[in-house]
Amino acid sequence: MMFYNKTQNKKHTNFIMQAVLMMLSSVSLISTISLSIFYSHKSYANNFTQTIKNNIISSNYYSNNNIDIAFSPNKNALKLIIDTINKAQNNICMASYSFTSKPIANALLNAKLRGVKIKIVADYKSNKNSTTIIHYLAQNGIEARLNQHYAIMHNKFMIIDNNTVETGSFNYSVAASSRNAENIIVIHNNQDIASQYLNQCLFLFNESDPI
């Protein structure tokens, strides 16, 4: 058994108290750093969330620089497509699987009245009936063709004025707008991407049968 005299006892006690104080200081420092990091991240997250919120509120769909994004059902995907068509000044090339949306058809007809040249290629099986919207557009002077070279021609995209692309899972249909979970993205002012889509659209159009 070891015995300490009063002086040793006092030194030992002081040493323990210093160690405890150092530990408490470390914990306090760590807590301060952790809180600083937390509030820093929280502030960034809040700013990021507010930026997205502002963009969505200002345009009714997410818009940032040269990218627009929207979803469905009933989350402004249809509005974004129509807005994109309404901005066309020279030409539109569209590849469509299912086409039953009257609002999109009307936007295309209005574009034609503005002098926009329009080409549409659609899947044969989904649009062969003479009462479909594709036939209606063809009857009103829009160049429309049906493609039956594949099991299905399942594309859904548009190229506007050779520099803007709209694409995604969204068919140009009533169901896509009001019932299905779909997405679209519009890429503006990118001729490199637009040229790739335009080449494919024209290829599909040229190999198809006129209505």
- Cβ atoms 200, 121 nearer than 8 A: no
Which of 53, 87, 117, 154 is catalytic? The answer is 154
Which of 112, 119, 156, 188 is catalytic? The answer is 156
Active-site residue, 156 included:
yes
Which of 161, 188, 192, 209 is catalytic? The answer is 161
Report how far residue 205's alpha carbon sits from residue 211's, in angstroms, rounded to the nearest whole number.
12
Active-site residue, 161 included:
yes
Active-site residue, 209 included:
no
Active-site positions read 154, 156, 161
